[in-house]
Chain A
Amino acid sequence: MQAQGGSVGRVEKCLFTFAEGDDALRLESGRRLAPVTLAYETYGCLNKDATNAVLVCHALSGDSHAAGYYSQSDHKPGWWDDYVGPGKALDTDRLFVICSNVVSGCMGSTGPSSVNPQTGRPYGLDFPVVTIGDMVEAQRRLVEHLGVSRLLAVVGGSLGGMQVLEWTVRFPEMVRAAIPLATTTKHSALAIAFNEVARQAIMADPKWSNGDYYDGELPQHGLAVARMIGHITYLSDEAMRRKFDRRLQDRCDISFNFEADFQVESYLRHQGQKFTERFDANSFLYITKAADYFHLESSWGRGSLVEAFSRAQCSFLAVSFTSDWLYPTYQSRAMVQAMKKAGLDVSFCEVHADCGHDAFLLPNPRLASMLGSFIGRFLEQEPEEVADRAV
């Protein structure tokens, strides 16, 4: 399935550092973080009234590289290239798209692998635990730095969707439209359980050394197992049956030993191994913890989701996917129900997809069309047309 539209082409990762003076990032835990660097990318042009900015929030293992290519030899574009580009759902001919790596990440933003200015060594476990709220607080500084006082839309899936929801209640006056995809207002016990098993896999790796491993060997095995666990939750029974069933890997018969007999084993090992080449184990611990702690109704509504959403002022488009068993549709419906009760303008669709939680990352013409027309609704209300930069 080829996505409509073109590519944003070559893009560059930028860095924005703040809180170098007295304006430390005050975290929900009560601790402070300073200085803070965010890695970010932008696509398209900000119009002169700064009314066409869309913030894209990435999921657990994502980064600021949502679209385009870093170099000509790059064989893979950014993680949401199917949806971001000229003529695509997030049309960069008309929109100014921003995507930044979350605080506590490992793709250029300040996180546990960054150097602690007080010790001159990587933070490791000295890095403070951050929340989804802290991530959004940092993004707000970046957005304002870019000259945007009100976002046309905030969009993201999974952990990115949690950031979207947080934006709408933390900075209601800064958001016109919000698109939470395949997400939830709070982790279920099931979701926390999977995260905990993944964290234990990392922490049980002797090379993890209590998070202080940056000078020596990395806890690659633990991180790989953590990724394998995560990967299972992103797929679905149906998708796995179709993709692997019980097919054997490079052999005609079972081996009667503990090699990767089955394709699914080989696939997970490969995914786990590949992940260790680009991700920091400590960042994985911190980001999964932030997801587990996320609890919108308790943070903003004294236990009531309706009260939490009464803070919001934007229009919503919530989307869930039929085969997502990590954040099943009932969780999106509960969120939508609270939005309705809070009197908000909300649209919702449960999109049929058999590929599980990851569906929001895969090409899907229906999802693309929904996103494009929903965002277009707010663009059309703008009197100013963005200059056509394709000329």
Chain B
Amino acid sequence: MRFDLQVVASWIEPGAKVLDLGCGGGVLMEHLAREKGVRATGIENSEEKVAECLSKGLSVLHGDINEEVLDYSDNAFDYVILSQTLQQVYDPARIIGQMLRIGSRGIVSFPNFSHIGIRLQLMLGGRSPISKELPYDWFDTPNIRVITIKDFRRFCKKLGVDIQAEVATRTPHQEEQGKLVHLLPNLRAIYGIFLLGRQKG
């Protein structure tokens, strides 16, 4: 399993109830169910990936995450995960608000747009950056948001969302062995992964 997903999985207790928004083919859910006895449901808008989840014996709903989250009651889940999907979300404040309404905690991860490689492409090449993590041209990208670790922290503060844990990694896409970034994460990290909770008080 991809290193960023391993980080996400490490935060989740055995037996927890989890909702995975944009769950893809269900790699993370399958891992959580098998290794931790987690009861997971996924939401995915690709029919092919929904079928893939079902073939793994997972529960999955074919639909739009923005609409599907509305049906759940408050605190229906222990964790609601938004892994590598935030950059495609039209209204991030709304989705994060919903995540923390239906779940006690939220986990959000995204490719860090202020990574040094991306900065250099723009600065030296003068062109829209393309990386393994964000492999699209400006005209065909599904990613409508560019997010940096620093921006996301500010955003959480503005939303009144409590960042309970934060991990920055510089593990290229798909790789299983990972490296954490402690020094200058906004410059050096490829991914940012955040554990969110409701603000206390």
Contacts and interface: CB of A to CB of B under 8 A. Distances in A.
A348 B54 contact: no
A370 B39 CA distance: 19
A76 interface: no
A346 B61 CA distance: 7
B112 interface: no
A333 B63 CA distance: 9
A347 B51 contact: no
B13 interface: no
Nearest to B42: A347
A95 to B, nearest CB: 16
Nearest to B53: A347
A380 B33 CA distance: 15
Contacts of A340: 61, 71-72
Interface hub of A315, A350, A380 (most chain B Cβ within 10 A): A350
Contacts of A389: none
Interface string B42-55: 00000100110111
Interface of A: 315, 317, 333, 336-337, 340-341, 343, 345-352, 366, 369-370, 373-374, 376-377, 380
B41 A350 contact: no
Contacts of A377: 57
Given A349-B50, A350-B47, A370-B54, A341 B73 contact: yes
B68 to A, nearest CB: 8
Interface in B58-113: 58-63, 71-73, 76
Given A340-B72, A366-B51, A347 B59 contact: yes
B12 to A, nearest CB: 18
Contact of A346 (B50, B56, B59): B59
Given A317-B54, A337-B71, A340-B71, A351 B47 contact: yes
B19 to A, nearest CB: 10
B72 A350 contact: no
A336 B61 contact: yes
B51 A370 contact: yes
Contacts of A346: 59, 61
Contacts of A350: 47, 62
Contacts of A374: 54, 57
Interface residues of B, number: 20
A345 B59 contact: yes
Among the interface residues B47, B54, B58, B71, which one has the most CB atoms of the partner chain A within 10 A?
B54
B71 A373 contact: no
Given A337-B71, A350-B47, A343 B76 contact: yes
B71 A315 contact: no
B130 to A, nearest CB: 31
The 5 A-B pairs of least Cβ separation, nearest first, read A377-B57, A349-B62, A340-B71, A373-B55, A349-B50
Given A333-B63, A348-B62, A350-B47, A380 B57 contact: yes
A373 B47 contact: no
Contact of A349 (B39, B47, B72): B47
B61 A369 contact: no
16 contacts: A340-B61, A340-B71, A340-B72, A341-B71, A343-B76, A345-B59, A347-B54, A347-B61, A348-B62, A349-B51, A349-B60, A369-B55, A370-B51, A370-B55, A373-B54, A380-B57
A349 B54 contact: yes
A315 B60 CA distance: 12
Given A337-B71, A341-B73, A366-B51, A348 B57 contact: no
Nearest to A371: B54
A366 B50 CA distance: 10
A315 B59 contact: yes
A65 to B, nearest CB: 28
Contacts of A376: 57
Contacts of B47: 349-352, 366
A370 B53 CA distance: 9
A336 B63 CA distance: 11
Contacts of B54: 317, 347, 349, 369-370, 373-374
A368 to B, nearest CB: 11
A343 B76 CA distance: 8
A315 B59 CA distance: 9
B47 to A, nearest CB: 6
A270 to B, nearest CB: 34
Nearest to A322: B47
A339 to B, nearest CB: 9
B176 to A, nearest CB: 26
